[in-house]
Amino acid sequence: MILSHHQQHQLQRIETGLFRSDPQLTAMLGIFGKLSAGQTMPAWEQVPTRRDRIRQAAALTVQAITLAAAAIGLLLSAVLALLIVVADPRHRQPAPRAERTSRSRGSDGRSDPAGQSLRPMSTSTLMADPAAARRASRAPPRRTRSPASRPDQQ
List CB contacts of 113: < 8 A, sequence separation 6 or more: 145, 150
- Write the DSSP symbol of residue 90: G
What pTM does this model have? 0.34
| CA distances in angstroms from 58 to 28, 51, 61, 145, listed in the order given | 43, 11, 5, 87
Phi first, then psi: what are they for 48, rounded to 5°? -65, 150
Hey, is 101 helix, strand or coil? strand
Q: Where are the alpha helices (DSSP H) in 1-154?
A: 5-21, 23-35, 50-87, 123-128, 130-138
Residue 98 is predicted with a pLDDT of: 62
Residue 92 is predicted with a pLDDT of: 60
Alpha-carbon span 37 to 45, nearest angstrom? 16
| CA distances in angstroms from 150 to 121, 125, 140, 145, 146, listed in the order given | 30, 35, 21, 7, 7
Residue 90 is predicted with a pLDDT of: 72
Residue 104 is predicted with a pLDDT of: 53
List, for the chain, all residue ranges whose pLDDT scores fall below the cut of 50: 115-117, 126, 154
Residue 154 is predicted with a pLDDT of: 47
Alpha-carbon span 105 to 6, nearest angstrom? 112
What angle is formed at CA 114 by the lines to CA 109 and CA 115, rounded to 5 degrees? Answer: 70
